[in-house]
Structure 1
Amino acid sequence: MSQAIGAGFALVICGAVLAGARRSPADELPHPARWALGGRDLGTAATCVLLGGTIYTSYTYIAVPGLMFGTGGLALYALVYTMLLSPLIMILLPRLRDVAARHDLVTAADYVRARHGSHPLALATALTGILATMPYLGLQVVGMTGVLRSMGLAPDALVGCAVLVALFLLFAVVTHPGGLRACARLSFLKAVLIGAAVLVLLVLTLTQLGPPGHVFELAARRSEAMGQPFGVPPHSFSAYATLAVGSALAQLMYPQVLLVAMASRSKHTLRAATTYLPAWSMTLGLWAFFGMAALAAGVRTLAGHGELAVPILIRDVAPDWLAGLLFGALAVAGLLPAVVMAMSMAMLFVRNVYVEYLNPTATPKHEVRVARGPALVIMAGAVAFALLMKPQDAINLHLLGGVWILQILPAVAGSLFTRWFHRRALFLGWAVGMVAGTGLLGLRGFSTVVDVGIGPLHAPVYVAVTALALNLAVAAALTPLLDVLGVPRGTDCTADGAAWERRGSKYAFVVD
């Protein structure tokens, strides 16, 4: 590795650590809403940069151009689904944020427990969130390994492994005491770094490869020479559309996104912050263009490693010192969402597993103390996950996680608008969706689409959307049946005047 690249990389990382290193006020008592939600006091700017910084990860900035490099226009579904996020967030998350603030809820499983009065459904929501997010966190490490590999540090070698562990350790030390407030400070730096990196790389690319039209023309020729479509084939539109819509809905159910939304100062603050999210999508569109530029420039990557296309392009078009700064920006872009993911999973474990079933008398201070430990363990597990598994296996598990996380949509998002569904119908629908989605994805070799047909009509549809349709169908069919049978519904503790005891007996799920 060039010393100039290492110096630039280290400079950006040290700047990020210093930016986030500030402790909470000494007189502030530890509380989950303060550590994990920043006291529910994030303003418009902080909410915008933290929400965007959490959704748009370094793997996104590496994988999307990698898909453009390898598959052409099909990869633009990611751009479509990120554009769908703003209206969906405005419809769903401000409602959830208000309910959470009124009833001191910290996680989506807290909300499900309070809204439906169901311990099994809340536990299913918590475990689904943890299981689905762990591969997503692992992919951030995979993105980091791509950056390190392009710098000349093999992640599976001793030096590369040590650098990767040191990076996560530095960010864990910074965010461990400060919680989400430290992440909010880091998110401002990430926004500046990503914006600057986009502008610099765009100038370098256009200077060396020519105007955008020429870049796309070269990329189209190379794509055709490789025998792959440059645009979206007509028969793939249903897969493209359901993949975009399903991915957008799934993104909103990930615990890290819900955590940031609940941390905003008010529903109006969240809506105002959401109006600026398309700016993040614009940066993603430019990174997708860099994938085309890598194809036009004749970049060569290892077989099955399209995510290396842009890092290699950076090495080709930028001087070493500047390449180091750009790699450092990508590193911060991955480390920030990784920390927020770890925090959100730790809160799900502590609030909805540990306290509910193991220690119902835990104080808020004890919850924070316990949550900090699992957050570190989760980050360490993600590093091990990425180092021990092949990149394709990590991607396959992330695809599975996307199918899983979408199955909590009826219990979480659906119940923001209606209480018609019976709690046990929702639980059984969730179970059917989980089994069907896992089976469809596994049996088809982790293909993201499945052929759905009614009579002579057939169309490829995103697996997660198919599983969600089965989930909703089961819940809708069983709800009136359970009501006729007289199976009691749970108490809605989010209704005005209703009291809610979050902590219950560790055997409550048996008698639910």
Structure 2
Amino acid sequence: MSNHVNVPALVVCVLFFLLVTVLGFLAARWRKADNALHLHEWGLGGRSFGTWVTWFLLGGDLYTAYTFIAVPAAIYGTGAAGFFAVPYTIIAYPLVFLFLPRLWSVARVHGYVTPADFVRGRYGSKALSLAVAVTGILATMPYIALQLVGIQAVLDVLGVGGSGNWFMKDLPLFLAFAVLAAYTYSSGLRAPALIAFVKDTLVYIVIIVAVVYLPMKLGGYGHIFDAAATKFSTVSPVTHKPTGSMVTGPNAQWAYATLALGSAMALFMYPHTVTGVLAAKSRKTVRRNMALLPAYSLMLGLLALLGFMAIAAGVGKDVKGYNAQLAVPQLFDQLFPGWFTGVAFAAIGIGALVPAAIMSIAAANLFTRNIYKEFLKPNATPEQETKVAKVSSLLVKVGALAFVLSMDKQFAINLQLLGGLWILQTLPAVVVGLFTRWFHHWALLAGWAVGMAYGTWQAYGIATPATKHFGGSTTLIPLIGQNGYIGLTAFVLNLLVAAVLTVLLRLARTPQGTDETSPEDYRAEAEAPEPTPGPAPAMAD
């Protein structure tokens, strides 16, 4: 924590924050809808975003403030193991290229706003739709909280957080999220879409300058890697093992590979990423973005190098119990002029506001369409849906703020790891359902329940020096005898249970529910007529 206020950096941060605040409120007039009180207008931006807007929106959505903080922090703390985030984003885009255009098409034809809407329509099951919706909300909440963790790290280094009474200490955070809540309520998805242009531009500028300027200050990349290798070869007094490694060892390769693969599979299961995709104006826009988004993976690889640079700069050296989440903010604070530090911190701060807005909108969409309309008020009008979604988005933000202020930050990080495990269990219902309806909806629900229970139980049993439970995301894989990602193991178990039960339910001739989609729906282009949402069809459960 800084003992002084970095005035130049603070001034630059405040100026950028004022800029995005103005943009957030002006976004309500951008591509203004004929009827703003409609959920696909407020929650999906009217499904009107072209290639570049979608590219910036998804980039701002996927590469968050916590990415900016956590990926270099993982490299700073463990070395090569932290690089798993780079291959998993590379793997993700070819995978999602296969199914996201199909999801966009069927959603366009039937007016689906959430992945749970699709599940309801595909399988005719309220219970399975509810499971997907609740999982999405649960996985999203800690993700929003982690954006606050990123902002808090910046405020601490700026010298305006972490001291004084509880109110004054967190006042900047309260103000930031109050303004975020206001313009999200007013402008919906259009606000983060417009602000994402500023956020992504700042991130690219900061990272390109950093990977050129910092090596010159630190004696070149050779010295940077040597310093990192020296640190990682040091034996920890707690574990009696090296603190990290520059190359992933044989015993860690299964964990590295399964974590990368499982994370790639989960990435576009999150409601906020699906929201960004469904906001695209055409199927072609979705396909183009899956081809263009790997440019962010290059940025992520460069960003990861900042962890090594923080080691070479001596950030946190000899500080007992040092918080690695502060490594990147303190690196910029120490080595850059104050004004550019402000630009970097603004990139991180805005990098929290954009995804937090999209996440809260996605969670609100899920609650409104798949809980409120489905179970509480089936005859709700589009105007009522939109009003409920707006209020829900405010409550989601307040909940995330209360969570991060009252709970230990490590607990928030642990819950986010659980979120990835949980959201992966919705993949069979959503992704497999885009290609085949062979699985029975009761079997999918049972598979989901088994995957959720097994994954949560395994994660609960992982302890570290920092926490007794939920201390990691890898453990021994049954039958293989190697450590691997719990979420992927739970997913395999989920799929096996769903397959076996489907065979049994089919043999028992159990009714499968009504499929309201047709094969041509999955190939529809932008010219497909925009549906007028009516009352939800009767479902058989």
- TM-score interval (norm. to shorter): over 0.9
- Return the match for 1:444 from 455, 462, 466: 462
Aligned 1:264-343 pairs, distance under 5 A: 264-300=280-316, 303=321, 305-343=323-361
Report deviation, 1:502: 5.5
- Return the match for 1:240 from 256, 260, 267: 256
Report deviation, 1:186: 0.7
Which segment is superposed worse, 295-304 or 82-91? 295-304
2:499 counterpart of 1:481: no
Aligned 1:40-439 pairs, distance under 5 A: 40-155=47-162, 157-225=166-234, 227-228=242-243, 229-300=245-316, 303=321, 305-439=323-457
Query: 1 CA distance for matches of 2:7 and 2:477?
Result: 54
Contact 2:310 2:327 survives alignment (8 Å): yes
Report deviation, 1:128: 0.5
Aligned 1:5-16 pairs, distance under 5 A: 5-16=9-20
Q: 1:294 to 1:429 in 2, by over 3 A?
A: same
Query: 2 CA distance for matches of 1:139 and 1:204?
Result: 29
Report deviation, 1:12: 1.2
Query: 2 CA distance for matches of 1:99 and 1:32?
Result: 17
Contact 2:379 2:535 survives alignment (8 Å): no
SS at match of 1:275: helix
Contact 1:115 1:493 survives alignment (8 Å): yes
Contact 2:84 2:260 survives alignment (8 Å): yes
Query: 2 CA distance for matches of 1:417 and 1:169?
Result: 42
Report deviation, 1:304: 5.6
SS at match of 1:361: coil
Report deviation, 1:333: 0.6
Report deviation, 1:29: 4.1
Query: How many corresponding residue pairs?
Result: 506
SS at match of 2:37: coil
Aligned CA RMSD, in angstroms, stands at 1.8
Q: Deviations over 1:330-350 (max 9, x none)?
A: 100111000000000001001
Contact 1:360 1:504 survives alignment (8 Å): no
What percentage of residue pairs aligned between the two structures are identical?
42
Which segment is superposed worse, 296-305 or 306-315? 296-305
Contact 2:25 2:186 survives alignment (8 Å): no
Query: 1 CA distance for matches of 2:111 and 2:156?
Result: 44
Q: Deviations over 1:370-420 (max 9, x none)?
A: 111110111111111111111111111111111111110000011111111
Contact 2:116 2:366 survives alignment (8 Å): yes
Report deviation, 1:480: 1.1
2:34 counterpart of 1:35: no
Query: 2 CA distance for matches of 1:203 and 1:380?
Result: 40
Report deviation, 1:302: 6.3
SS at match of 1:240: helix
Query: 2 CA distance for matches of 1:90 and 1:476?
Result: 25
Query: 1 CA distance for matches of 2:376 and 2:203?
Result: 43
Query: 2 CA distance for matches of 1:302 and 1:27?
Result: 58
Q: 1:404 to 1:232 in 2, by over 3 A?
A: same
Contact 1:224 1:230 survives alignment (8 Å): no
1:281 partner amino acid: S
1:469 partner amino acid: V
Query: 1 CA distance for matches of 2:296 and 2:178?
Result: 27
Q: Unmatched 5+ residue regions in structure 1?
A: none
Query: 2 CA distance for matches of 1:504 and 1:450?
Result: 43
Report deviation, 1:19: 2.5
Which segment is superposed worse, 352-361 or 439-448? 439-448
- Return the match for 1:472 from 482, 495, 500: 495
Q: 1:477 to 1:496 in 2, by over 3 A?
A: closer
Q: Deviations over 1:237-295 (max 9, x none)?
A: 11111100101111110000001111111111111122221221111111111110001
Contact 2:42 2:386 survives alignment (8 Å): yes
- Return the match for 1:463 from 486, 507, 531: 486
Query: 2 CA distance for matches of 1:404 and 1:330?
Result: 27
Report deviation, 1:18: 2.1
Contact 1:64 1:288 survives alignment (8 Å): yes
Contact 2:16 2:346 survives alignment (8 Å): yes
Q: Unmatched 5+ residue regions in structure 2?
A: 236-241, 464-469, 522-530
Query: 1 CA distance for matches of 2:475 and 2:298?
Result: 30
